Structure 1
Amino acid sequence: MRLVDEVSGDMIIGLPPSVSAAMAMELLEPRLLSRGIVVDSICLAVDPSALEDQMWDSRTLWQAGLSSVRGDDRTSGEFLVHEIAYADTALLVEGLFAHLFEAQAPGCQSGGELFQRGTQLLGHLGPHLKVLHPERDIILGSHLAAAARRRAAAGNPCVDSTGHAAQESRSSAVENDFTTVELRAARPLHPARLLDAMHHMAEGCIWLRGTLWIANSPSLKMVFGGAGPFVWIEARGLWKTETARTHIALTSDSNNAPELTEMLRQCELTDAEMLQSTEMFEDVLKLGDLA
């Protein structure tokens, strides 16, 4: 904060691992705006060759040595999806492993198989991102605070206007291994059938996210999330003026879109179930504990 007050002209503020850009902006933005300073871009440096492994890492940030806060129980996958959503620009970099063990890690260098695969995955995790290659001209994306907060909000499926993760020329050199499938349901979901379906949906899914409309708590907006090996459901208040809906997206290298679509359709209430009281549905997801 002291440096912000003392420095004049353009500034580049670097954040250490595990420090959220959104949290930093919450602290800095009022001070910056009072001085007439505008944040042009939020840029995230990413080693694509390590991205998939980081998404699947089951350790907390504390256990992985990425946070100095002992109680920080976020996984790297949870942290990354939030940072990717909040950022507007991603700068692709080669990690230390690619340079220290070049002979043992040929796929980790720029243009290598792992580097290309990770770049493609990044396109699905952040379809909005302006992706920069260091060897090319660097033109940053633009930070729009409201849009960044909306993308990073829990339950946002983060898909582009076509309903698919953006796939631009940055991933055209490799076969399309990853896909993002977007699913919607028009009726409330049966909690027991949903619980069973969630196990199948999460299997092999590197990132899943969205909102759920569940029959035994129809007024509650439930958020569905998962990064790597962890899946969670949390309540986000009442639907209020929002239209209650189930809208989820799943990113994986093994998606079967027709199978996933049918799986969700089977979770919807039947005509007979739509007439039943909400008390008739067993709370197998323990939503009562989340309300």
Structure 2
Amino acid sequence: MRVTVVSSLDAFSRQKACAALAAASPDALVVFHDLLEDGLVIRRTFKEGRRLEREESVLEHGCLSCTVRLDVVPTVKRLLTAGSRLLLGLPPGVAGSTAVQALLRGLGGAFTIDSVALACAPDAVEDQIWDRHSLFESGFTPVPEDERTPGEFLMGELSFGDTVLLADPALVPVDPEARARGIQLIRELAPHAVVAESAGDIRPGRHNLAEAMARTVPGSVRIPAESSSPFTTVVQRIGRPLHPERFRHALASLAEGSCWLRGRLWVASAPDCRIAVQGIGPRVWLENTGPWQAQRHPLLAAFPAEHPDVVLDWHPEFGDRGTVLAVTGDDVDAAEIAALLTGCELTEAEMASGPGALNDPFDLNRTTETTQRSNP
């Protein structure tokens, strides 16, 4: 069976996208899962416009991951022999990567992922990226413990997925200018993805799990070949370690006005640690992802790397140690970003004195510890 996974922030966009996909493949089974309050899961299955089943179940622990593990995966397993194609509409807020990995763990090679698509209204994307509230606070999920912002969800889907289905909810008036701007932003954030106005624009069989996982590795940087005005992406590389205090002060300026800030840092107060940085809308965080590849494997330049960017950025003296930062936003100033980061580099005197005298304001020496900050 070939499976197309459709994720979304709202059920209206998901419904419209799946309806278009079903119209293009009339023989496909369409399954919707919805998680409501108190752990209630509603599952509906359709074929050729007819509802085949509607089932309800109550989960003891009503979270999105449990919905996938305890209902979505068993449903796909049961339907494996029921047809050649399945359109799987996930509960709003469930990440496509979560569903794909759960299906692979539960079903192995019994199916093929044809596509992983995000259904969204393009005129709402920019506002959703800058939404400071959690998914629960914004009404996208019934799970109070879900602290992700809408922007974090969207960026994860845009990075992992291979397709973006533009689905304007029928009940909400569309602002043409905001819609055009949203499409430009989507193309800038997901240059690898097909941005489809209709189901006919989708190319089946585009999903490549290895590439999708590589795009979502913390610290990974993928940039578009061409910018989609008015949005631009600037990439800056710095060869020396960053002074932690100077970088702390520069971080707010780097993130301000940036829809998406991502990359990896070589910080002098934690020189042996590869620090991933990500900023999505109003939220910025740093994560210690462990030692640099050069520290683990000094001859790595001759061999495949755990992190796909490593060989491309390999330095003969420092290996993969170094700062690579990408900033995407509206009219991003490349010269300003370069000046900010260059000002954070250690001087010759600071390089000679070593990292021992430097404070660690981010507390970066603990692996997987995360420091979160908000843009002013």
TM-score scaled by length of structure 2: 0.68
8 Å contact 2:288–2:365 — kept in the other structure?
A: no
Whole-angstrom CA distance in 2 between matches of 1:137 and 1:150: 25
Q: 2:87 is paired with a residue of what secondary structure?
A: coil
Please point out which of 185, 189, 214 is paired with 1:125.
189
Whole-angstrom CA distance in 2 between matches of 1:288 and 1:137: 47
Instruction: State the superposition RMSD in angstroms.
Output: 1.8
The residue that corresponds to 2:216 in the other structure is 152
Whole-angstrom CA distance in 2 between matches of 1:289 and 1:147: 29
Structure ranking higher in strand proportion: 2
Whole-angstrom CA distance in 2 between matches of 1:195 and 1:254: 23
Whole-angstrom CA distance in 1 between matches of 2:322 and 2:286: 15
User: Is 2:277 the counterpart of 1:213?
Assistant: no
8 Å contact 2:241–2:266 — kept in the other structure?
A: yes
**CA displacement at 1:41 relative to structure 2:** 0.9
Q: 1:42 is paired with a residue of what secondary structure?
A: strand
- Larger-gyration structure (1/2): 2
Which deviates further from its counterpart, 281-290 or 263-272?
281-290
User: Is 2:110 the counterpart of 1:39?
Assistant: no
Query: What amino acid maps onto 2:330 in structure 1?
Result: D
Describe how 1:183-202 pairs up with structure 2 within 5 A.
183-202=236-255
The residue that corresponds to 2:103 in the other structure is 28
The residue that corresponds to 1:116 in the other structure is 180
Q: 1:223 is paired with a residue of what secondary structure?
A: strand
The residue that corresponds to 1:78 in the other structure is 152
Whole-angstrom CA distance in 2 between matches of 1:95 and 1:261: 41
User: Is 2:207 the counterpart of 1:143?
Assistant: yes
Gaps of 5+ in 2: 1-72, 298-309, 311-319, 370-376
Query: What amino acid maps onto 1:214 in structure 2?
Result: V
Q: 2:86 is paired with a residue of what secondary structure?
A: coil
Greater than 3 Å deviation, 4+ residue runs: 30-34, 135-138, 288-291
**CA displacement at 1:157 relative to structure 2:** 2.0
Q: 1:28 is paired with a residue of what secondary structure?
A: helix
Summarize the Cα distance change of 1:141–1:254 in structure 2 as closer, same or farther, 3 Å threshold: farther
Query: What amino acid maps onto 1:133 in structure 2?
Result: E
TM-score scaled by length of structure 1: 0.87
8 Å contact 1:204–1:254 — kept in the other structure?
A: no
**CA displacement at 1:266 relative to structure 2:** 1.2
The residue that corresponds to 1:173 in the other structure is none
User: Is 2:290 the counterpart of 1:237?
Assistant: yes
The residue that corresponds to 2:359 in the other structure is 282
> How many matched pairs?
269
Please point out which of 38, 44, 48 is paired with 2:122.
48
**CA displacement at 1:140 relative to structure 2:** 4.1
8 Å contact 1:89–1:141 — kept in the other structure?
A: no
User: Is 2:240 the counterpart of 1:203?
Assistant: no
Superimposed CA distance per residue, residues 199-241 of structure 1 (whole angstroms, 9 cap, x where no aligned partner): 1111111110110000111001111111111111111111134
Whole-angstrom CA distance in 1 between matches of 2:256 and 2:113: 39
Q: 1:267 is paired with a residue of what secondary structure?
A: coil
User: Is 2:208 the counterpart of 1:177?
Assistant: no
8 Å contact 2:194–2:202 — kept in the other structure?
A: no
Please point out which of 320, 323, 327 is paired with 1:246.
323
Q: How high is the sequence identity, in percent, across the aligned residues?
A: 37
User: Is 2:39 the counterpart of 1:4?
Assistant: no
The residue that corresponds to 1:172 in the other structure is none
Q: 1:13 is paired with a residue of what secondary structure?
A: strand
Gaps of 5+ in 1: 168-175
